[in-house]
A and B are shown apart, each in its own frame.
Chain A
Amino acid sequence: MNHLTRRKLLVTFAAAGAASLGGPLWRQSVFAAMDAGHKTAPVPAPPTAPTGQLTNRLRLPGASGLYAAVAAKDVKQITVSEMNFDVLPKLSSPFWAYVAEVGGKRLLNPTLLARPGDQIKLRMVNRLKQPTIIHWHGLTNDDRNDGTGMYLSEPGKSFDYSFTVRDRAAMYWYHPHPPYLTGEQTYHGLAGLLIVEDDDERKLVHALDLTLGVTDIPLVIQDRSFNFEGKLEYKLSREQMFMGFLGEEILVNLTTRPYFDAAQRIYRFRILNGSNARSYRLAFAQGARLLDHYLIGTDGGLLEQPLKVRETFIGAAQRIDVLLDLRAASANEPVFLKSLAFDPMHNESVDEKTGKPAVGAAQGGADHAAHAAAGALADGVEMLLLRINIKPSPEYKGKIPSQLSQLPKLAVAAGEPRRLTLGQDRKGNWNINGWRFNMHETPVRVQRGARETWLLQNNRASMPHPMHIHGFQFRVLERRDSPAQVTALATRQKGLLPQDFGLLDTVLVWPGESVRIALDFSHPFPGDQTYMFHCHNLEHEDTGMMIGYKVKA
């Protein structure tokens, strides 16, 4: 079979919805079977996303157990534990969790609630067999409390956190951040939410009569794979590390194939893409109709005004806060939260100058197909995430407020931006300006109190990178050379997406795209502080697409 024919075949095969069968594990299985005496290899079934069989009740924050909500200042200890947990119904799997004991109750990955000004003092005890540290994702902290990975807790040891909540109301999250191990540890279960409330937030909750876990619903979207016994599995080849993990099942709040019973009223969904690597194109659909809804917040909290949207791209680690008015939906059929099909833009093999396929190279999704794990759902396929059943309910008169909050004034630095190019060395290593992670180096240095513009330029021969900065939130000023599927969702203002109007700590940068962001390096912490800037595709992070940067006092 010549090169061209093979490529064509793979492309067609990927388009047929079976994009991930070519992976090394699958090859191993098939050829082992042939060796075992089968004259024709048994052909594995193509992976497909669930098509409506969403029959497990969505897990939600309750009084105890998984995601239980608790005041952060009441949590004195978090024990990072290995345990068994029924991720799949009635099937126990090894699982790692943040465990807190509060008021005689045992909480797993508790939803921590705080207000600006709260003092959080807690001890993290590491019961894993490897070093770990908690990163408070999105919060403004000094480098010791940030959990950059420069301070680690070895197995059996502990680490004491002590910090003040300084940020706006928003849904932040906490997860592991040890060098080279973040993907594995997060995958095995370590991730929780930290919700900060303030007066603007209370006004909204009051106006819409929202209750956390009832009508204000956090949704943590993650993809996972299970072995044949229903146990979580994280085994990646080097090629899969280069792409990032893609699982076989999409879980919402650690629920496989979930549903949720809703009333005919306004619901708030605070959505975290907690996946290691996968992006989603989120939309609410009823039948073939996509439902209008309102984006009200992003990583760093409420927007100034609600923005009507129909769909949103969300990269790993990003959050969106949306309102969906189910009074506008028909009560006769379920609404689905789904990820619409999109081009995952695995363009690693294109020619950098022309953006066209390099001679002799497989391209795009097919190239990725050849590296994805056996059975994984291909990146960018349409999939159902959550079924929302609409139940008869009393009349509800809530109205979405026209004004939500005030954002800090946007102050843009004068002069040339600092350029940071996202690329690869064609040997399987992602990098930032050619730099790869070294704990002892800080190739970027900024002055405390300085304003800077950073220009994040993703190469054409690349894939989407969700870029996360520790220590500071930022604003997006402009997007250029965005792919058509992104431009289609953009506003008329400098190519900005609706979520670019909020405060962010993570921004998804597509191949060939340039994103200008504004940073203000003011903070109250004395002395030099070292933070991380990295891709939040956790396999990219773990294989070196991360740099330290120093804020000089």
Chain B
Amino acid sequence: MGLFILLGLFALLITFGLPVAYALGIAALSSFFYEGLPVLIGVQRIVSGVSIFSLLAIPFFIFAGELMLHGGIAAKLVRLASSAVGWARGGLGQVNVFSSMLFGGISGSAVADVSALGSLLIPVMKEKGYGDDYAVNVTVTSSVAGIMIPPSHNMILYAVAAGGGISVSNLFLAGIIPGVLMCIALGFAARWVAIRKNYPTEPFAGWMAVGVAAISAVPGLFTAVIIVGGSLSGVFTVTESGAIGCIYAIVITMFVYRSLSWQGFCTSVQRAVRTTGMVMILVGCASAFGYMLALYDVPKMLTDMLYVISDNPIIILLMMNMMLLILGMIMDMGALILICTPIFLPVAVGLGMDPIQFGIMLMMNLGLGLCTPPVGGCLFVGCAIGDVPIQRAVKSIWPFYLAIFSALMLITFVPAVSMILPNLIGL
């Protein structure tokens, strides 16, 4: 009955439109009350769930992303991508994918990626004769790179949800190859659609232009190097590297690029605290919710259920992927990371999967969820920018879904794809 209250009340509240974070908190406190546990302890768990030192990196990554967004770095990366890959068939589609890979490495957020690159590239693509649905689809699906390519605040959420035993630096390393692989797959999909629809190519601007664009983009790209390199080398902790990344981003955008105004800075701070509040209250409430899930032994129940269906690891992994994909379609990523990790991770580890590999698989599954209706943050933002109805975008998005799905299968069944870098140079 207690578990029914926990899950049932949560499902009911989110169905009625209550914010997910508060629905988690209310369901958790109700279960505390039902079980006769002091509700005070539940509130204390919410607060202690927020005040975890390793989570401090999250506001820094979000802040750095906002500073880059308002500091004009996205435009420089698009220029670099355009000069480097714009000459290929369906050139702007390739530019879009390549820009997402570069920008995702800085912002760490898929939605930031869509809004920054989408507002730059979608209008240009439409103007040059590309289909508006194509422009939206490429932008939306390639934004998943923001989650896979480090730094990514979702990976910190995963590390915390997994119990804190996983190195965030290793997770960052593990995301690189899958993220690049996914972008290559998306590049092929973009090219295939471009050939079928006879989309134009851009003239090659020459190596000189590539060099100039690269030099101009390097200071901005260096933010990612500071954040990832700083924590990997052991010079900084992940949290410190996030803070140093923010300070560097302020210096670069204000004094080198001179593209971040005081107004832009204030907007960045305002947006960063807004997003931080949203993410961190989710973390706090999910912490109380997770406590009750563990109390009801839900992870063991799920493991037993999956083993009843099949004891074949391939089938179980496929089922897990399917469940995560479906959940990703109906709920937001942050909440799902916090809820699903304690439930699914023991099953994955039981099958011999490394927690880091599982983390990367989880990110890509839920990242794909951001691009699917009915609750796809990236899809909504992309369609709003491109002024394309969601139904029309979804009709022609399947080659891109297929590309991400093929990368997902590689990550699931070939451990080396995620594990080679952590094993080679990890901490």
Answer yes or no: do A and B interact.
no
